[in-house]
Structures are given as structure tokens and as C-alpha cells.
Amino acid sequence: MRNMKKNWWKIVAVIFILYVIIAGFLMPVPTLPILHETIRNLYFHVTMWFGMIIILMVSLIYSIKYLSKQKNEYDIVASEAANVGLFFGVLGITTGMLWANFTWGSWWVNDPKLNGAAITLLIYLAYFVLRGSIDDEEKRAKVSAVYNIFAYVMLIVFVGILPRLTDSLHPGNGGNPGFGKYDLDNNMRLVFYPAIIGWTLLGVWIMSLRIRMKKLQIEKLEN
Amino acid sequence: MASISKDIQQLLLKEFTLEWRNRHSLNGLLLYVISTIFVCYLSFKNIIEPTAWNALFWIIILFASTQAAFRSFITESKGRLLYLYTLTSPQAVILSKMIYNMLLIAAISVISYLFYALVLGNVVENSSLFLIALLAGSMGLAAILTMMSAIASKAGNGSTLMVILSFPVVVPLLMTIIKLCDQAIKGFFLSETYQYVIALVALNLISITLSYLLFPYLWRE
């Protein structure tokens, strides 16, 4: 019973994700030209990006916390959150490319949002190369926290601010309707919001497992 | 505040003196740009297409300024950094390095522009706007690359790490500069492209502030 109290959110995650997969493929969706059934990708691609941004935000917060408190634990959380964020990013970019191939007729188009996605992956891959190239634990934690904060701010500028200066093919930019406006009817919302929560919770779950693993490894090394 | 600006002056003086005593390094940097541009000239002969002209120019500048900023922390010996640590505040160190790199990169990019236009042909119609973009751009590049050089120097993995750390972070700035220069090449006026100028200034401010706030954590080891 105590376990249930502590782990209820894991059950929520499983139920939400099962619901999203089943309802996402079976529930009725609005029939729109060009998009057709690919609109269902909204439940996977868009929500995975939301999950990624939230988890990367966790990484950022723990990096800031590390710099102010210098606790080793914060560094582990920051790096594992970045790891899971990177994983979600790869999933998001793959589902996005699949969708782009059906809707725009090409796997990759020159578009601020797509480029932002690619830059996100490059930044976090560089973050792990940086971590790998420093042996001293404390130094590694400090230097990578500094890079994480710097890179995240630049990323937000690149994804959130610069695209507004130019046109984009992506839904929600440059005259293209966003899904929120009139495509996202109430039926879709019923799946969309649980999907965001579900993927994020799943990410947190993977993260917490990896953190526990890391801590056990460190413990084993010390003894 | 007064003591910080005095420290910065002293540190800048130190940078200039050291650079002057080590002229071969500065000359090497200039030769690096000149020979890159010459290789581009030999491969392209003449670029009439403005987009290609602009993109090639900024790629050359990006590599040259990465090379220039790379030296700012790696070449400092451990002992000298420790000595500076006892003398002055980290803010003074990062600001002086940044200002020095801004001057250096601005000078290099103006020289490369002149040489680039000489051999590959000048397609720029509004050169004053192009120069503004060049100077503001080199300021931003210096601010970001100096900080990345500080991070890379802590890791001791050399120039590869410097490049993979900086390029993704520099992209928002670079895209804005390229857009602005594109407008300058097409002959737009400053009043017509003010949103890019504002974006560029804002990006510069963001990167300077971030470096100013974050560098002290790298400094204390």
C-alpha cells in the first residue's frame, strides 16, 4: 500500500499512454485537406516535443541549483534529464520527419522549427561530449552546468523568438494555421492533453530509474 | 564599479602587450583568413549569386573568429590564471577578454571583407548597413566564443571541443547576421530592416549578460 502511494503517477503514466495509443489511432479526427489521417501525429510528435522541453527545463533548473548549492546529486539529475530529453528529441524528430514526408513531400525542408530541432540535438550531443572529456567530477559538474544554462537560453531564442521574424511552413507560423485555432476540435483535445502528461511522466520515470542506477554505480565505486 | 573598469583597462593593456610580443600568432591568424579566402577564390573564381557570396563569407568569418577566440584561454598558463585570480575579479577578466576579442574579430572581419570583395567581387549595395552588421556581428561572435573558449579550456580537449560547443550555440546569432547582411546586399536601408538590427542587439546583450553571470562559476575551481 505504501508503494501505491509513492508510485501512483507511474500507473497514471501507463494508463495515459495506453489511452493515447488506442484512442489516438481509433478516435474520429476532423477530415482536413492535405493532412488527412496524418493529423493523428499530433498526439505523438507535438506531445513528445512538449515532453522534451519540460524535461530539458528540469535539466536547466537542476544545473542552476547545482551552481548555487554544489551538491553532486543535482548534477546527476541535470545530466540524466538532458539524456532523457535528448531521447525524446530523437523520437520527436523522427516522427516529425515521417509526417513531413507525407504532408510536405520531403523528409527535410528548410524551416526554422525543423532547424531548431536539429540544433537542440546538436547542443545536447555537445553537452555529453563535454561531460565525457572532463575526468574530475566536480569540475565536470560545474563546467557542464554552465554550458547547459548558456545553451538552453540560446536554444529558446532560436526556437521561440527568431522564427517569429520569418515565415515558416510549420503549422502555427507565417499564415499557416496552428492546430490550436480551428483544427484542434474538442475530441482531439481529449487525447492531446493526456498525451502531454503521459509522455512527460514516462520521461520522468525513465529519468528516475537512470538516476537510481547512477547512484548505485557511484556507491559501488566508492566501496 | 570604478575598480572594475580600472581592472579591465589594465587587463586590456596586458592583452595588447602580450599580443604585440607574440606577433607571429596574430600574423598567423591574418594569414589564415587570407589564405582561406584565396583558396575560395581559386575554387569559385567569381561569385555573382548574393546568397552564396554571403554564406561563404560568414562561414569563413565563423571559422576565423573561432580560431581567434580559441586562443584567449587556452594560451593562458595555469600559473598566470592563478595569479590573476588573486589580483582581480572574474567579471573583470571575462569582460576584458571579451572586449579584446571583439576588437580583434571586428578587425579581422573588416580586413577579410575588403580582401574578399577584392578577389571575389563586391555584391553589396548598401555597404554602410553591411558594415554595421559586420561590427555588431563580430561583437556577438566574440561574446559567445570567448565564453565557449573558457569552457573548452577547462575540458582540455582542444579545438574540436571548442567547435562542437560553439557552433550550435552560435547559430541563432549567425542566422540573424546572415539575414541582415542579405538585406544589405540587396540594398535595403536601415529603416527597412530594423527588426533584424534589434534582434542582433538583443542577442548581443543576452550573450554578454550570460557570460558575465556564468563565468565566475568557471573561474573558481
pLDDT tens-digit readout, A134-174: 888 888 999 999 999 999 998 888 877 776 666 555 665 54
- Selecting from B154, B172, B217 the residue whose C-beta is nearest the C-beta of A157 gives B172
Cell output for A1? 500500500
Quick one: cell of A62? 537542476
Cα A8 from chain centre? 22
Please state which of the ranges A45-59, A115-129, A179-193, B33-47 shows the lowest mean pLDDT.
Answer: A179-193
pLDDT value of position B112: 94
Chain B nearest-CA residue for A115: B171
Determine whether the interchain pair A130/B165 forms a contact, defined as Cβ–Cβ distance below 8 Å. Answer: yes
Tally of CB atoms within 10 A around B49: 10
Comparing B54 with A8, which gets the higher pLDDT?
B54
Taking only the tens place, the pLDDT of each residue in A64-83 is 999 998 888 899 999 999 99
Cα separation, B151 vs B20, whole angstroms:
26
ipTM: 0.87
What residues of chain B lie within 8 A of the CB of A141, using their CB? Answer: none
Mark out the alpha helices in chain A (DSSP H runs).
2-26, 45-69, 72-103, 112-132, 137-156, 186-222
Model confidence band, residue A177 (pLDDT cutoffs 50, 70, 90): very low
Return the pLDDT at B98: 93
* Tens of pLDDT, residue by residue, chain B (221 residues): 668 888 888 888 888 888 888 888 889 999 999 999 999 999 988 777 888 999 999 999 999 999 999 888 877 777 787 788 888 888 888 999 999 999 999 999 999 999 999 998 888 888 889 999 999 999 999 999 999 999 988 887 678 889 999 999 998 899 889 989 988 888 888 887 888 888 889 899 999 999 999 998 887 76
Task: Name every chain A residue with its beta carbon within 8 A of the beta carbon of B147.
Answer: 150
Q: Tell me how many residue pairs between chain A and chain B have CB atoms under 8 A apart.
A: 76
Average pLDDT of span A197-201: 88
Residues of A in contact with B221 (CB under 8 A): 139, 142
How high is the pLDDT of residue A5? 73
Of A119, A150, A157, nearest to B214 by CB-CB distance is: A150
| Cα nearest neighbour of A161 on chain B | B199
pLDDT in tens, A9-58: 888 888 888 888 887 777 776 666 666 677 777 778 888 888 888 999 99
All residues of chain B having their beta carbon less than 8 Å from the beta carbon of residue A150 are 147, 169, 210-211, 214
Phi, then psi, of A38 in degrees rounded to 5: -65, -10
Chain A residue numbers touching B175 (CB-CB < 8 A): 158, 162
The three cell numbers of residue B66 are 573561432
Comparing CA positions, the residue from A157, A152, A123 lying closest to residue B164 is A123
DSSP structural state of residue A169: S
Three cell numbers written together for A142:
560545474
A89-111 pLDDT, tens digit per residue, is 898 888 888 888 887 777 887 77
**Cβ–Cβ contacts within 10 Å for residue B86, how many?**
6
C-alpha to C-alpha distance for B35 and A62, rounded to whole angstroms: 45
Residue A82, pLDDT score: 93
Residue A6 CA, distance from chain mean position? 24
User: Could you tell me which residue, B2 or A114, shows the higher pLDDT?
Assistant: A114
For chain B, the residues whose C-beta falls within 8 A of a C-beta of chain A are 144, 147, 151, 154-157, 161, 164-165, 167-169, 171-172, 175-176, 179, 195-196, 199, 203, 206-207, 210-211, 214, 217-218, 221
